[in-house]
Amino acid sequence: MFIAANIVVALVALLHVCFLVLEMFLWDKPIGLRVFGQTKEAAAATKLLAANQGLYNGFLAAGLVWGLSLGPDGTGIKVFFLCCVLIAGLFGGATAGRKILIVQAIPAAVGLALVLLS
């Protein structure tokens, strides 16, 4: 169970690195426009906000990697950061779009359950 938990935690961390890249560097590029369903004008107007959001996603990824790097001693850190991701996913799903529940909240919930069971 410990290995499965760590695989899911690593996948959640990787997702948040992808979010960082999309929000900080690709927000107003064709792939960013497509992923987030935005126009060039809307992306230009929100580029700095998206970069800030991307930075926070990077912090979530860093926290999860930190927890993974500590092995069994990192359980508390993984639980904390998975809870942060889960809360962010639930909030985003309620306010920005239901897709966030699938992409962010559900993987975090699965990872949290596996970490707590291992």
Please name which of 47, 54, 72 lies closest in space to residue 18, comparing C-alpha atoms.
Answer: 54
Q: 19-68: per-residue pLDDT in tens?
A: 999 999 999 999 999 999 999 999 999 999 999 999 999 999 999 999 99
Query: Is the pTM here over 0.85, yes or no?
Result: yes
**CA pseudo-torsion sign 114, 115, 117, 118:** positive
pLDDT over 90 (residue 1): no
Place of tokens 């508390």: 76
pLDDT of residue 50: 96
DSSP tag of 38: -
Q: Where are the domains of the chain?
A: 2-117
